[in-house]
A and B are shown apart, each in its own frame.
Chain A
Amino acid sequence: MSIPEAAKATETATPFLSVNNIEVVYDHVILVLKGVSLDVPRGGIVALLGANGAGKTTTLKAVSNLLHSERGEVTKGSILFDSVEVQSLSPNELVRRGCIQVMEGRRCFAHLTVEENLLTGAFTRVDGKSAIAEDLERVYGYFPRLRERRGSTAGYTSGGEQQMCAIGRALMSRPKMILLDEPSMGLAPQIVEEIFEIVKDLNVRENVTFLLAEQNTNMALKYARHGYILENGRVVMDGEARALAANEDVKEFYLGIAGDKRKSFRDVKHYKRRKRWLA
């Protein structure tokens, strides 16, 4: 797939988001990120890859400044969003400035209906009711299933419906930058495609920047322009998405292609000891 020229042109020298060598500690004793740096150019799509527990979610939470309510803190390094130090902004101020996070694990407001959930996403907006109603329509357009279930209490909807609801809710804030944490989780294949199409669409048409943590490496590298690979709280590899996709190790461990052929899940060997990059 080709990188849209228009988007590329808007990329400027100063990155939209830059994470500089941050260290994150939970509960004062659990060191999770051990110096992570990454840049997200304005109008870019950057994928954050890595195994379970590598620290993807933690990185995103550090960016949206939600760590302290999980008893985590950034002990070193700095994060600049649009040239402003993130640590000095409250989470809602960040949203106001256009940086919103879709949290992992479909954190919908269980007692609100699907539609109310979507509307809370528009809380920071001041551009009037009709603009919000328009966007609501747009989200229903993306996810027709949500329209069907608009009046249902979100807590009772299915896992996938909740995931759509969480993504739709973030879209409702008309963000400039979206931090997507595992958007494809629990979604049917078509919807996964749909989500990545939305990402591409918003990126191209509205110049929305994306940082996405994703396990579906295949998809992520297809749509992203840059990728970072996290292991154990460190960035072990980064580069152009295409270059990463061509890397032998990435192919083997993340794309499951060895010798250019996908192996059946039935035939996988039982890895007792996995190969890891050394940081």
Chain B
Amino acid sequence: MLYREAGQFKTTYAEDMAIFPIRQDRMALAILLGIAFIGVPLLADFDIWPFGSDYLLRAILLPFLILALAAIGVNILVGYCGQISLGSGAFMAIGAYSAYKLGTGVHIPLAWLGFAISIPPLPVLLSILLGGLAAAVVGILFGVPSLRIKGLYLAVATLAAQFFFDWVFLRVSWFTNYAPSGSVSAPTLDFFGLNVGTPIERYMLCLIFVTVFAFLAKNLVRGNLGRQWMAIRDMDIAAELIGIRPLYAKLTAFAVSSFIIGVAGALWAFVYLGSWEPLAFSIDRSLQLLFMVIIGGLGSIMGAFVGAAFILILPILLNRIPSELGVPLSTETITHLEFIIFGSLICYLLIKEPHGFARLISIGKEKLRLWPFPY
């Protein structure tokens, strides 16, 4: 009786097409946003446990938000458009390094032409967004082979992007402003004169980014373009025969996805790490993002969040449990156990629900709807 759409009549298609047509869902979302936007800052402000220490903000929520954003990007490509990509890390890196260059000033000496291209350091917000744009452009470029290469073959082929850009940012010292170690650090985070420095400020910044992009992404995937992506994913030949252009659909998916991933990469570098090297965007990151999307549920924006939480936070929790309980285990054993348990949970979850958390949630809702009857 708690969760039922009966009695909620929709009289226009606009109402029927809302993100959450059911009132209870809307309320749940409002509560969640309320906690995220008001609750967390308040708690942190009053130093109430567990937000008193920076730990939760800086070590958990910040990476969670940024990786969830990246996962949304990956989900658009993999979950909605069906193009498996293992190169997401590279696109994060492109976002990060482009934003870094733009934020610290671009100088391209064209000696043989007798002049140089110089762009003064751009404001941080603009550099981050342009970083995303750069990632989108490269994304389109690396999306072109997807017209011919499909499935797992494409997945492995996207690794070319991953390794190539790892190498580029290591080797081309122009990108790192000729830092001797190849490690660079972010410019100070000034947003319209506001310096974003404390953990809670950083958290709010990321939260705003994530909320806005999640909303835009949700709009896209439930609109015409989203349907084209899913059509390509589900049956590309039929899609083509009903007039969907694979070129356009796939490349827009690559572009939008890379854009979001690039922005997330810039945030990861600027807001979370502060100082980074290409290893921060290695193949491990790409895989991690893919795991998030699969576990969360392919083709679900909310799934990206749940998946990010599972893949990012669960290992940390598992790792912490023994020391919190005071069980005397060596870190080595703890880590090995963490691996074993984490792996087992992944398998267990998949066996229980091969389509990830998103499906689990929708089945849960369906059960709630039927409650108290089993079916």
Measuring CB to CB, which residues of chain A are less than 8 angstroms from any residue of chain B? 25, 27-31, 71
Contacts and interface: CB of A to CB of B under 8 A. Distances in A.
Contacts of B366: 29
Interface string B338-375: 00000000000000001000000001001100100001
Contacts of A30: 375
A60 B366 CA distance: 26
A71 B370 CA distance: 19
Contacts of B354: 71
A31 B373 CA distance: 11
Contacts of A71: 354
A29 B364 CA distance: 9
A156 to B, nearest CB: 13
Contacts of A29: 363, 366-367, 370, 375
Nearest to A29: B366
Contacts of B363: 27-29
Nearest to A31: B375
Contacts of A31: 375
Given A29-B367, A30-B375, 6 more contacts: A25-B375, A27-B363, A29-B363, A29-B366, A29-B375, A31-B375
Nearest to A32: B375
With a 10 A CB-CB cut-off, give which of A27, A29, A30, A71 has the most chain B CB atoms. A29
Contacts of A28: 363, 367, 375
Contacts of B375: 25, 28-31
Contacts of B370: 29
A29 B366 CA distance: 7
With a 10 A CB-CB cut-off, give which of A25, A27, A30, A31 has the most chain B CB atoms. A27
A30 B375 CA distance: 6
A73 B324 CA distance: 41
A27 B367 CA distance: 10
A260 B84 CA distance: 59
B352 to A, nearest CB: 10
A28 B354 CA distance: 13
A119 B363 CA distance: 40
Interface string B256-273: 000000000000000000
Nearest to B365: A29
Nearest to A27: B363
Nearest to B366: A29
Nearest to B369: A29
Nearest to B367: A29
A25 B366 CA distance: 13
B375 to A, nearest CB: 4
Nearest to B375: A31
Contacts of B367: 28-29
A222 to B, nearest CB: 36
A30 B370 CA distance: 10
